[in-house]
Amino acid sequence: MNKKTSLKDIAQHLGVSTALVSYVINNKEKEARVGADMVKKIRQAVIDMNYQPNLVAKSLKSGQSKTIGLIVADISNPFFSMIARLIEDEAMKLGYVVIFGSSDENAEKSQSLINVYLNRQVDGFIISPTEHTEQQIRAIQKTGIPVVLIDRYFPDFPTDSVRINNKEISEQAVEHLIDMGRKHIAVLTYKTKMAHITDRTEGYKQALKKHKIKANKKMICEASYHDIEKDVKNQMLNLFNGEQKVDGIFFATNSLAVLGLKVIIGLGIKVPDELAIVSFDQSDAFDFFYAPLSYVSQCLQQLVKEAIGLLIKRIQQQSKSRGCYESVIVEAKLVTRES
């Protein structure tokens, strides 16, 4: 358990002040005009004594923890774990470490995660927020610690955010179904007020409108986050067992698509003959479906890159440019396949 060697240990060992050692370690020997032989001696001692800086002390002194706090709905959801992975890579490159937490679509959990992160002095937040957390985000902003929303956002609320063009791409997706000759198109979405989802429903409506297809409330199926399996099942069964014909469906997320597809398989509905499908995002599962699904492809890599870029920029400019926020929209694209 040989205690870790500190700056002081090296200084004592060499009979010099800690200041010298600190300068050399941080490669500031130039600025501090440390003697060349002193530099050599110190560098050697650093190696000999296997010195490892205590980053906690450094953080306390510098006020920078070099830590990013990540909050998503659920890190075990493939969509978010992929985002987490990409954030990790980008952050590491820049000398940051990522701490993560899952809010489970629960505003209280979100708040408690934020509190923990604040107390731990994270340098910045990347959050995919949950309903009713506007004030939490606002509170972070007030502290002056940068926060960038990713994927999800609040349209009436000024924040830095990075997301895709949900509405437009959804419109395109549904238009694709219409182009394939479908006229009775349903959508399966979440029961939520979050804009990234309602935008998708909006896009759906707009596509119908554009092509003069009358919207029908029954064709809009909503599942709650908390009872998703049961809800999807019920909604889908209602939809396909109703008197209303359905020959196309748009899934607003891949989790919904995975569950929805199961029902479709269970009902023995033939894709694409009886039903054409477009989904959001990819899933391993889709590859096992006999008709490869058409889907909306978001470039998560780019999404993350923009988010980290923006966050780091904010961290560096600090307190300046308060109250001036940026929205980055990454273009998603439609990949059409057999479904």
Partner DNA sequence: CTGAAAGCGCTTACAG
Residues within the interface to DNA (CB under 7 A) = 3-4, 6-8, 15-20, 22-23, 25-26, 28, 32-38, 53-54, 57-58, 60-63
270 contact partners, CB below 8 Å, separation of at least 6: none
Rounded Cα gap, residues 152 and 138, in angstroms: 15
For its own copies, the binding residue among 92, 94, 215, 237 (CB under 8 A) is 92
User: Of 21, 42, 73, 102, which one interacts with its own copies (CB under 8 A)?
Assistant: 102
Which of its own copies, DNA, none lies near 15, with the C-beta cut-off 5 to 8 A by kind?
Answer: DNA
Q: How far is the CB of 285 from its own copies (least distance, A)?
A: 4
Establish if 325 lies at the interface with its own copies (CB under 8 A): no
Rounded to 5 degrees, what are φ and ψ at 281?
65, 170
Task: From 36-44, 67-75, 216-224, 329-337, give the range in contact with its own copies by CB under 8 A.
Answer: 67-75
Cα separation of 100 and 206, whole Å? 37
Closer to DNA by CB, 63 or 323: give it: 63
φ, ψ (nearest 5 deg) of residue 278: -130, 135
Considering only residues 107 through 146, tell me which ones interact with its own copies, judged by CB under 8 A.
115-116, 118-121, 143-144
Q: Which is nearer to its own copies, 190 or 286 (CB)?
A: 286
Does position 47 interact with its own copies (CB under 8 A)? The reply is no
DSSP codes joined into one string, 180-242: TT---EEEEEES---HHHHHHHHHHHHHHHHTTPPP-GGGEEEE-GGGHHHHHHHHHHHHHHS
Does 52 engage in binding with its own copies (CB under 8 A)? Answer: yes
Give which of its own copies, DNA, none residue 16 binds (C-beta under 5 to 8 Å, depending on kind).
DNA
Q: Which amino acid is at 26?
A: N
Residue 243: which of DNA, its own copies, none does it interact with, CB under 5 to 8 A by kind? none
Q: Which does 32 bind (CB under 5 to 8 A by kind): DNA, its own copies, none?
A: DNA
Rounded CA gap, 257 and 188, in Å?
8
Separation of CA 215 from chain center? 32
Least distance CB 265 / DNA (angstroms): 56
Q: Which residues bind its own copies (CB under 8 A)?
A: 1, 4, 52-57, 59-60, 65, 67, 74-78, 81-82, 84-85, 88-89, 92, 97-102, 115-116, 118-121, 143-144, 258, 261-262, 265, 283-289, 319, 322
